[in-house]
Structure 1
Amino acid sequence: MTTNAGPEVRSQMRRYIVQRLLMKGDSAPLGDDDLLFTSGRLDSLDAVELIMSIETDHGINFSDIGFDLTRLDSISAIAALVGQPSAELA
């Protein structure tokens, strides 16, 4: 698993999330700290897809760390989650 989420992780997550938003017809600007789920821009199906992507691409097992939507509610939060050492995730 990645232990230091750099700009490439943010860029990857931004591309993925922008793609999901565009599929919903949402082309509004997206900042790194903009709320994704709390604001209603993304929904529960998007959360499942995002979790699957993070688990596959970054080796984070959400059943081990417990699900907390706030850890996915912005690009910054996702990058922080992906960048944490595995010992700190639980």
Structure 2
Amino acid sequence: MPQDPEKLIRTAISELLVEAGQSPDFDEAESLFDSGKLDSIAAVTLLTILEGELGIDLSDPDFEVEEIDTFAAIMELASEQAAA
């Protein structure tokens, strides 16, 4: 992986929050999408980053957006993919 995944994801989430008029600060277990802080457009952007920048395969038909609702969940997904 060309970049530190944690730093890349933190930065992306912070930028998406700012674009949505939110504070760039967030807690690792804080809901990003179910809470309404980020919308579906932000989800697509984040998924694009996960696939394009980190090579995470999101083509699994059982993939649920809840798997990326928190920073902790995103990092767990990235960790699982890296181990596979």
When normalised by structure 1's length, the TM-score is 0.78
For structure 1, which runs of at least 5 residues remain unmatched after alignment? 2-7
The structure whose RCO (Cα within 8 Å, separation 6+) is larger is 1
In structure 1, the partner of 2:56 is: 60
Trace 1:2-81 onto structure 2 (pairs within 5 A): 8-27=4-23, 29-64=25-60, 66-81=62-77
Between the aligned residues of both structures, percent identity stands at: 32
- Number of residue equivalences: 80
- How far apart, CA to CA, are the structure 1 residues paired with 2:72 and 2:45? 18
Structure having the higher helix fraction is 1
Q: CA RMSD in A?
A: 1.7
For structure 2, which runs of at least 5 residues remain unmatched after alignment? none
Structure 1 runs (4+) deviating above 4 angstroms are none
